[in-house]
Structure 1
Amino acid sequence: MHTQRKTLSTVGAVSAAAALGLLTACGGDKTGAGDAPAEPSVPVTGTHWTVDDVTANGKKIDAPGTKAHVAFDKKGRATGNFGCNGFGGTASVKGDTITVGKIISTKMSCGEKIDNLEKTLNDALQGKLKAKVSGGKLTLTTAKGDAITLSSEQPAELTGTRWELTGLLNKDVVDSLPKSAAGQAHLIFGKDGTVRGNLGCNQLNAKAEILDNGKIKLGPAGLTRKMCPGDAMKAERELVKLFDSTVDYEILHDKLKLTAADGKGVNASAVQQGKPEQGADDGS
């Protein structure tokens, strides 16, 4: 299998957390002038942690079936979802202690059961937390003994996954795809060196050589000749410009970003993680 460029397990953009920065670097104290920061004793960064349950005041609340998850990165961010609402905040990792600062989240009401889970998680996921990692499980324990249990989740595979296109990139600007293309525009990379899918209007076939340096060499786009609404055709013309060139790719848990040399590109989300569609890998 080809080496993926960056399989950092993190979450997609969260509106309430987008303006946040900053989980302090994932290191401990420096041991001396010029020394590199010590590695944390628990490897928590760079992983998508799905919440299994949270126990507070002796009462356990299960989270499966919700969107609840947490990710810590090395740039100083803690982001995720409490079950319905996205959140973001600052945090630092030192030894086996994670210190989470004030959290900002969206404010939707999602029903009494989810609201209760969200409030409990929000209260537990702040301040100094003792972290323990074992067998793909992470346990975060507060000073008063409340605990969150989480499981690591692997990032989506580049090949064999249906990547639904969600937004057009122009450097730091992201534009949503037209409604007429939403849910239809997608790409599926095959292990046979091809990519197929739909660009929001027309069906696509092209060569796609996945390189070892985090790049994909895309061949010219072979398209059907269907005429579609003007906004869909406009978006499709932008997407076609990515082909017959070499693009950078980056996988962040279930998100894929393809970026050309000029900073233009596309965002996509995994619809079928790691499950090849018929013909995706065998060239049919």
Structure 2
Amino acid sequence: MAVMRGLTIIVFLTICFIFISNSVSAESNLSGAYVVTELRDEESALLFPSDLSRITATFNEMNVSGSAGCNVYSATYNETGDKLTISAPISTLMYCDPGVMESEAQYLKNLEKVTHYKIIGNNLFLFDVGNHPVISLTKPKEEIIIPFPYDTPYILMKIQKDNRYTYAFLAIKTIIEFHPDGSITGNGGCNELSGTYNMTESEITFGPITKTKKACNKSRINQEQMVMDVLKGTVLYEITGDTLFFKDAVGESLAEWKVYQSD
């Protein structure tokens, strides 16, 4: 009798160990940061997000969050084996290019359709109840950390205007700040700015920059628009002491920024 009881306990503990191991393994496999590569619309046709509407998802401790292309979002998820359900996402309310907004809306809608998932190598596939892969993602290649004064506010000193390099209105306090997670924030002098960027050792490529919709005087609006024109596409950059320079492809100056010391 004692032997049987001992065997029962051993079997029970073995089952518990297998269950816990599988749970930990599943969580470890799903956890991480991904970039969306494919989406399907309501007719199961493929949509391919462009580089400027980069959609990301980071799974961590039963939460998924990231960029939906224009706005940042977050949701909770439940995972059992390969079964997966995701709650209705909440997101910010910025507006971007209509094409970006279309992909974003489809992505957020598809998240709620997910019922199970599959991981193949670095690729994550999220399926709906009909076993259609409504979202396909991949883990991005590990990026080299570029030496840069991240999380440092810079105030605009000079900027190109009508093909002339001119001094900015310092009183307007046009400020930008780069963050190591690939986001940029700041103030154009009137509205709050936010967006994304990719950086190499000599270039910065900006994603869509969004802004709030405050009404300000003409001077502020004009300087803000000049900044929005500079924060587009790819610029060359140099850092000398506490000054950050933006230049175009032929080396012409676009903007000059200085580390901002708040009062």
TM-score computed with the length of structure 2 as normaliser: 0.49
| Higher Rg of the two aligned structures | 2
Determine which structure has greater relative contact order: mean sequence separation of CA pairs < 8 Å that are 6+ residues apart, divided by chain length.
Answer: 1
Task: Name the TM-score, length of structure 1 as normaliser.
Answer: 0.46
Q: Give the structure with the higher percent helix.
A: 2
